Amino acid sequence: MRSLSIMWWVVLVMHAVPALASKSVPSRLTAEITAFEQSGTYAEVVKVCRDLERLHPTAAKCSHMGISAQGRDIKALVVSKTGALDAATAKRRQLPVLLVIGGTHAGEIDGKDAGLILMRELLADKGKQNPLNHLVVVFVPVFNVDGHEARSRFSRPNQNGPLETGQRTNALRINLNRDWMLSQAQEMRAMLTLVQQWDPLATLDLHVTDGLRFRHDVSVSISTHHGAGSLVKKDAQTVLDAALAHLRGLGHEPLGFYPQLKDVNDPGLGVIIEADAPRFSHVYANLRNRMGFLIEDHAWAPYAQRVVTSKNTLVSFLHVIASMRTALMQSAAQADAQNQHLAGQALPLLWVNAMDIEPTKPAPLIELKGYAYEVFDEAPVVGGRGIVYDTSKHQMWSVPFYGTLLPIQDSTIKLPAAGYVVPTEWVGLIKPLLQLHGIRFSQIDQDQTIPSLEVMRVDPRNVIYDTDSFQGRQRTSVMGNWSSEAATVMKGSLFVPIQQPKAMLVAHLLEPAAPDSLSSWGMFNAAYETSDYVADHRELELIRWMHEGHPVMGQIYGAALFKKLPQIRQAFEEKLAHDETFRQDPQARVDYWMSFLPSQDPDLFKYPILRSSVQLSQSLPMQRK
C-alpha cells in the first residue's frame, strides 16, 4: 500500500502540469517530461529559479550566491510567505532560516529536482499549513555547478538513474563536502559567505548513498559528538525523530543514521557509525551551534522514487521545524550564549567508534530491511572474497550495531583562558579564513612583550605526514605539549578570543590535534621543515671541544655553558656506562651533546599559533567581510 502511494505521487507529478506552460505556471522539469529517466541541465535550474521569482515576486527571490571555478553563476532560491526575502529582515523578525543544499556531489542530483518541484508547489499553496508561512528557505539547487555540467552516463555506476549525471567533485577535483573547514574551493567560500549572511537554524544537505543494498529508502545523519552543546544536540535529535515519524506516515522506511558495513562483503558482521569530522556540512553546522542533517537517498531505488523520497523528506523537515520554530530558535540563542563561557574547559577533539577502543565488547542487535545475499570466499570469475545480493528476495537482517562514539582521551585539551594569538607573519594566511567562518578577532596595535604565553614545541618524532594526497593536500598529524614562555607579540598580530559564540569552531581550526584544524590540513608544514643544519663534521668538532673542555666553547657560546662542560661530560660518561641502548646508538650520543647548544633554528618545530591566558591589548575589532 505504501509503495503504491509513492508511485501514485510520481504519476501525479508527471501529469499535474500542462505540457504547454502558461505565463502563470512554470514549465515542467526535464525529469517530469521524461518520466524521471533524465534530469535537466543547469540552464533549466536558472530558468526555473527566475520563473518562480517572476511568478511569486513577494515570496521568491532568485539570487546570486557566487561563481564556480569555471565561471558559472551559482544560484540560491530564497522562498518564504512571510515577506522576508533578505537576511536582514529575517534576522530582525527572528524568523527561522533553513539552508537546503542540492548537488554538492553533482551525480547525486535527487535534491535538485525534488527541491524545485517542492518549492513550486509550496509557492502555489495558499493553505494555512504551508511551512513557508513561518520560515525562510534558502535553497541552493546545485552547489557543484561545474560538476553538474560534466555530465556522463558512467559517473555513478552504483546508482539507478537518471540517465546522465554529473561528477562528484568540482572542476578542481575538490570534494565540496570535505571542504567546509579548509574552504579552499571558491564555491565553498561563496557558501560560507551565504551561511554568515543568513545564519541558518538548520542545514539540510541532500545526497545519495554509495551502493549498499538494502530496502530503506533514505537515511538521515546528525552529529552527536563534535560541536554544539546539549541544547542543540537534543533539539537535532528531537527534530530527527519527528521527521522520521512524519516520513513513515508518508509511506517511507527511513533510517536515523547512515549505515556502513563493518565488512563490506558481509552485512551479517554488523553495521558501524563513523565519527564524521567537521569537514562535513552536518558536523560543521554543529560547530556553529546550529542543526545539521545529512540526507542520503538510497542509490538503488529508481530515480522517480528517489525524487519522491527526497521531496517528502524535505516536506517532513520543513513541517517539523516550522512547528517547533520558537523553541528551536531559543535553543540556538542559548547555545550561542553558553559557548561564550567555555574558557578553560575540557574539549575532546578526536572521536572514534567504540569498537576501535573496545573491540571485544558485544554490540546490540538491530533489525534492517535487506535482501538475501551470498558471501563467497572465492567469488565467481575473479576469485577472492566477495558478495552477491539477490534483490528478488526480501530479508530482515538482525545484525550487530556499532553505534557508540567515544572520544580519544589523549585528544582532550583544556581550552585557553583567554584565546589564541596569530603572529603577524601568519595573518595573511589565516585572517581570510577567520573572516569566512565569521570568527571574531582583533588586531594588535603595538608590539607587546608578554611574560607568559603558551607555546607548543613539537617533538620531530610526533610530526607524521600522510603518504597519500587528500583534497590536493598532504595532511599532517602533530602532537606536542603547551608550555609557558615569554614572547613578543608584534604589531599586526591577531588575538582570537575564546569567549565568543563560535568558540568550538575557533578551537577546531587552531588546535593542532583537531581532525580538521589548519595544521591537520598541512597549512603549517613549513614550520616542521629543516631549512638549516649543522654539518656532520662541524657537529663532531663541537662535540670534541665540549668533551675536552676547550676554551673556544666559552668564546663561541659564553662562560655559562663553558662552566657546565665538566658536569655535562660526567653525565655523559655515566649514561654511557649504564645505558646499553645509548652506548650502541651513535646518533643518540650526538644528540646528547648537541642538545646543550643553542639551536641554529629556534623556530623549527614550533607550532605557529600561541595561546594566551590573558586578554591582549588590542585595537578595535576587525571588520568581517
The CATH number linked to 94 is 3.40.630.10
534-538 contact pairs (CB < 8 A, 24+)? 534/594, 534/600
pTM to 2 decimals?
0.90
Q: Which residue, 320, 340, 360, sits at the end of a domain?
A: 340
260 and 289 share one domain: yes
52 and 124 share one domain: yes
Report pLDDT digits (tens) over 534-589: 899 999 999 999 999 999 999 999 999 999 999 999 999 999 999 999 999 999 99
Q: For the chain, which residues score pLDDT lower than 70? A: 1-25, 227-228, 617-625
231 part of a folded domain: yes
620 part of a folded domain: no
Residue 390 makes CB contacts below 8 A (sequence gap 6+) with: 371, 372, 373, 374
365 part of a folded domain: yes
The number of angstroms, rounded, from the C-alpha of 611 to the middle of its chain's C-alpha atoms is: 24
Q: Which residue, 407, 429, 450, sits at the end of a domain?
A: 407
295 and 240 share one domain: yes
86 and 145 share one domain: yes
The pLDDT of residue 603: 84
106 and 231 share one domain: yes
| Angle made by CA atoms 38, 44, 50, in degrees to the nearest 5 | 150
Q: Which residue, 369, 386, 407, sits at the end of a domain?
A: 407
| Percentages (nearest 5) of helix, strand, coil residues in the chain | 35, 25, 40
164 and 253 share one domain: yes
The pLDDT of residue 156: 93
526 and 543 share one domain: no
The pLDDT of residue 202: 98
182 part of a folded domain: yes
Distances (CA, A) of 266 to 213, 273, 582: 11, 16, 50
φ/ψ bin of 289: left (φ > 0), alpha (ψ from -120 to 50), beta (otherwise): left
Strands 442-443 and 494-497: antiparallel
Full domain range(s) for residue 427: 415-531+606-612
115 and 192 share one domain: yes
The number of angstroms, rounded, from the C-alpha of 103 to the middle of its chain's C-alpha atoms is: 16
517 part of a folded domain: yes
326 and 374 share one domain: no
Distances (CA, A) of 547 to 532, 582, 596, 600: 25, 17, 12, 20
471 and 560 share one domain: no
394 part of a folded domain: yes
216 and 114 share one domain: yes
The pLDDT of residue 459: 86
| Domain count across the chain | 4
The pLDDT of residue 595: 87
253 and 142 share one domain: yes
346 part of a folded domain: no
